[in-house]
Amino acid sequence: MKQIMTSESIPITKGRSRLTAGAGSMKSIAARTAYVWLLFLVMANPTLGLAGDDKDKTGTNPVNFTYDYRFITEMRQFTDDGGSLVKHTVELRAPLGRDIANLKGEEAKDSSFYNMGNMFSLRFRGYYQSLSANTPGTGAYDAADVSGIGDFDARLLAIAYSSSKIIVAPGLEAFFDTASNDALGSGKTSLGPVVFTVFPGILGPSSLFAPGYQYVFDVGGSDDRADISRSQIDLYFVWILSKGKNWLLVDPQIILDHENNTEFATVDAEWGFMIVPKSGISGYLRPGFGVGPDRPFEWNLEVALKFVWQ
């Protein structure tokens, strides 16, 4: 599930401003970022490197545990002309057991740990964000720019049940209060139990439906920041096209903010393409929009470069 900026992500100021204005224009940052990534998308012709293998290297199946390294840039436009956000994400995924076997110097056939890589996976994400807030009359957020590190997160996912028709994968995600500026994080350390249920082929050949549910709640942090209690319902559809050279992903999410009694939805559509299939190098373009009066942003655009290997 993607990281959602809800109302508890915006710091509550008490007595003094918590947002320090940064140099430079947010619009120019967003423009430069957009130009670089759009140039990459134009150059990344999906017909390159047509000779691939039978292994799935699209990185779209949440329970296909592979080594996965991603560089992601997302741009968001807030509602009511409230400003914009550019978020750069570095993401690493790894099957847990295989690394233990490799560290012990054991061959796959001799290691009791190696097959754990098919059952357990770790994911780490770090963020660098550039926020341009424009909410007149609120003091700290009155036309100010700030950039810095956001809240890091890590997730452990495990396969609890697997058959040809259904796969169930529960997990636990932790969100750490690492933001370099209050405006770039929640000010809380949080936990988020999550479960995915994957239905391969339910929407036709080379497709999957992987709905997920996550509940996020804070376990520590600053007392003057809003508590966190929210549910996220993820409806995740994927179709693999052109024998694995392309894919279409549709990802509606419903967010229920129990702490603030608000609710909204987001809808993303992703077009992905393999750049060098044999090496597992791919990219994607993912536009989306918010739905509902409580939505924090009007639209978003995400572009990424991925490296996936077994």
By CB atoms closer than 10 A (0-12, 13-18, 19+), residue 273 is: buried
Q: Is the pLDDT of residue 177 over 50?
A: yes
Mean per-residue pLDDT of the chain: 82
Q: Which residue has the higher pLDDT, 57 or 262?
A: 262
**CA gap 71, 89 in Å, rounded:** 6
The pLDDT score that the predictor gives to residue 141 is 45
| Percent of the chain with pLDDT strictly greater than 90 | 62
Residues 138-152: what's their mean pLDDT? Answer: 74
Q: Is the pLDDT of residue 34 over 70?
A: no
Q: Which residue has the higher pLDDT, 102 or 43?
A: 102
- Enumerate the β-bridge partners of residue 125: 91, 153
The pLDDT score that the predictor gives to residue 36 is 46
Structural domains of the chain in order of their starting residue, each with its CATH number: 25-294 (2.40.160.40)
Among the residue ranges 23-32, 74-83, 200-209, the one predicted with the least confidence is 23-32
| Percent of the chain with pLDDT strictly greater than 70 | 73
Residue whose entry in the numeric block shows the structure tokens 């393409």: 273
Question: How large is the greatest C-alpha to C-alpha distance in the chain, in angstroms?
Answer: 66
**CA gap 215, 83 in Å, rounded:** 28
The pLDDT score that the predictor gives to residue 218 is 97
Residues 11-26: what's their mean pLDDT? Answer: 38
- pLDDT per position as a tens digit, 152-164: 999 999 999 999 8
Q: Report which of 264, 190, 210 is spatially closest to residue 60, judged by C-alpha positions.
A: 210
The pLDDT score that the predictor gives to residue 152 is 97
Among the residue ranges 53-57, 78-82, 230-234, the one predicted with the least confidence is 53-57
**CA gap 266, 276 in Å, rounded:** 31
